[in-house]
Structure 1
Amino acid sequence: MKILFIVPSYKPAFIYGGPIVVIARLAERLVRLGHEVTVYTTTANGHEELAEAVKTPVLVDGVSVYYFPRITGDHTHVSPALWKHTWKTVKSYDVVHIHSWWSFLVLGASLMCRLRGIKPVLSPHGMFCDYVLTAKNQAKKKVLHNVIGKRLLKHTYLHTSSPMEWNECLRINHSWKGANVFNLVDLPTVTYPRQENDVFTISFLSRVDPKKGLDILLLALSKVPFKYKLQIAGSGEEAYVTELKTIVSTLKIEEHVEWVGWKNSETKFPFLANTDLFALTSHNENFAIVVIESLYVGTPVLISNHVGLSGYVEQNRLGWITGIHDIEEVRAKLTLAYNDKMERNRITATARDIITRDFNENKLAGDYVTLYQSSGTAKKVI
Structure 2
Amino acid sequence: MKILDVILSLNPLAGGPQHTVRAMSQIWRSMGHQVDILTLDAPDAPYLEPGLVKHAFGRLGSPIRRPGLSAAFDRYGYAPGAARKMAEIVQDYDMVLVHGLWNYSTLLARRVMVGSGVPYCVFPHGMLDPWHREKYPLKDIVKRIEWPFIEGALLGGASGGLFTTQAEIDLADGSYLPYRIHPVLVGYGCQGPVQDAQVSLAALHDSFPALRGRKFLLFLSRIHPKKGCDTLLRAFAQCLPDLGDVDLVMAGPDQVGWSKELKDLAATLGIANRVHWVGMITGEVKWGAYHAADAFVLPSHGENFGIVVAEAMACGTPVIISDRVNLCDTVIEHKAGLVGPHDLASTVSLLRQFARMSPGERAAMSHAATDCYHTHYELDAAARRVVDILADIAKTAKAPGPHHPVAA
Task: Please say whether Structure 1 and Structure 2 have the same fold, judged by a TM-score greater than 0.5.
Answer: yes
What secondary structure is seen at the aligned counterpart in 1 of 2:197? coil
Aligned-pair identity in percent equals: 26
Aligned-pair CA distance for 1:264? 1.0
- Asked if structure 2 preserves the Cα contact closer than 8 Å seen for 1:43 and 1:51, the reply is no
After superposition, the C-alpha distances for 1:51-92 in whole angstroms (9 at most, x for unaligned) are 589xxx9622xxx52111249544321123321122122122
1:183 match:
188
Mean CA deviation greater in 134-143 or 206-215: 134-143
- Asked if structure 2 preserves the Cα contact closer than 8 Å seen for 1:301 and 1:319, the reply is yes
1:84 match:
84
Alignment of 1:194-233 (within 5 A): 201-224=216-239, 225-226=241-242, 227=244, 228-233=246-251
2:51 match:
59
- Aligned equivalents of 1:131, 1:346: Cα separation in 2: 34
Alignment of 1:168-317 (within 5 A): 168-172=171-175, 175-193=180-198, 201-224=216-239, 225-226=241-242, 227=244, 228-237=246-255, 239-317=257-335
CA 204–30 in structure 1, closer or farther in 2 if over 3 Å, else same: same
Amino acid at match of 2:378: N
1:339 match:
356
Aligned-pair CA distance for 1:360? 3.3
1:37 to 35, 39, 61: 35
Aligned-pair CA distance for 1:377? 6.6
What secondary structure is seen at the aligned counterpart in 2 of 1:203? strand
2:402 match:
none
TM-score, with length taken from structure 1: 0.88
2:403 match:
none
- Asked if structure 2 preserves the Cα contact closer than 8 Å seen for 1:133 and 1:141, the reply is no
Aligned-pair CA distance for 1:200? 5.0
Aligned-pair CA distance for 1:330? 1.4
- Asked if structure 2 preserves the Cα contact closer than 8 Å seen for 1:158 and 1:179, the reply is yes
What secondary structure is seen at the aligned counterpart in 1 of 2:249? strand
CA 124–377 in structure 1, closer or farther in 2 if over 3 Å, else same: farther
After superposition, the C-alpha distances for 1:295-341 in whole angstroms (9 at most, x for unaligned) are 1111101011111221221121110012123x222111111011113
1:158 match:
161
- Asked if structure 1 preserves the Cα contact closer than 8 Å seen for 2:83 and 2:111, the reply is no
CA 302–106 in structure 1, closer or farther in 2 if over 3 Å, else same: same
What secondary structure is seen at the aligned counterpart in 2 of 1:75? helix
What secondary structure is seen at the aligned counterpart in 2 of 1:236? coil
2:99 match:
99
Aligned residues: CA RMSD: 2.7
Aligned-pair CA distance for 1:362? 3.2
Amino acid at match of 2:252: G
1:139 match:
141
1:23 match:
21
- Aligned equivalents of 1:69, 1:338: Cα separation in 2: 49
1:369 match:
387
After superposition, the C-alpha distances for 1:190-223 in whole angstroms (9 at most, x for unaligned) are 341589x987521111111111101001111222
After superposition, the C-alpha distances for 1:92-150 in whole angstroms (9 at most, x for unaligned) are 21111110011122122122111323341100111101122343422221111134432
CA 257–164 in structure 1, closer or farther in 2 if over 3 Å, else same: same
- Asked if structure 2 preserves the Cα contact closer than 8 Å seen for 1:94 and 1:379, the reply is no
Amino acid at match of 1:179: V
CA 264–149 in structure 1, closer or farther in 2 if over 3 Å, else same: closer
Aligned-pair CA distance for 1:175? 4.8
Mean CA deviation greater in 26-35 or 142-151: 142-151
- Aligned equivalents of 1:262, 1:66: Cα separation in 2: 27
Mean CA deviation greater in 114-123 or 234-243: 234-243
- Aligned equivalents of 2:256, 2:190: Cα separation in 1: 29
- Asked if structure 2 preserves the Cα contact closer than 8 Å seen for 1:232 and 1:258, the reply is yes
Mean CA deviation greater in 270-279 or 145-154: 145-154
- Aligned equivalents of 2:213, 2:13: Cα separation in 1: 34
- Asked if structure 1 preserves the Cα contact closer than 8 Å seen for 2:94 and 2:394, the reply is no
What secondary structure is seen at the aligned counterpart in 2 of 1:222? helix
1:329 to 343, 346, 353: 346
Alignment of 1:50 onto 2:67: no
What secondary structure is seen at the aligned counterpart in 2 of 1:69? strand
CA 343–249 in structure 1, closer or farther in 2 if over 3 Å, else same: same
Q: Which has the higher contact order (CA 8 A, sep 6+)?
A: 2
2:63 match:
none
- Aligned equivalents of 1:297, 1:148: Cα separation in 2: 40
- Asked if structure 2 preserves the Cα contact closer than 8 Å seen for 1:25 and 1:184, the reply is no
- Aligned equivalents of 2:327, 2:351: Cα separation in 1: 18
- Aligned equivalents of 2:126, 2:395: Cα separation in 1: 22
- Aligned equivalents of 1:58, 1:68: Cα separation in 2: 16
Instruction: Give unpaired runs (5+ residues) of structure 2.
Output: 61-69, 203-211, 399-408
CA 83–311 in structure 1, closer or farther in 2 if over 3 Å, else same: same
- Aligned equivalents of 1:369, 1:245: Cα separation in 2: 43
CA 44–220 in structure 1, closer or farther in 2 if over 3 Å, else same: farther
CA 184–81 in structure 1, closer or farther in 2 if over 3 Å, else same: farther
- Asked if structure 2 preserves the Cα contact closer than 8 Å seen for 1:26 and 1:184, the reply is no
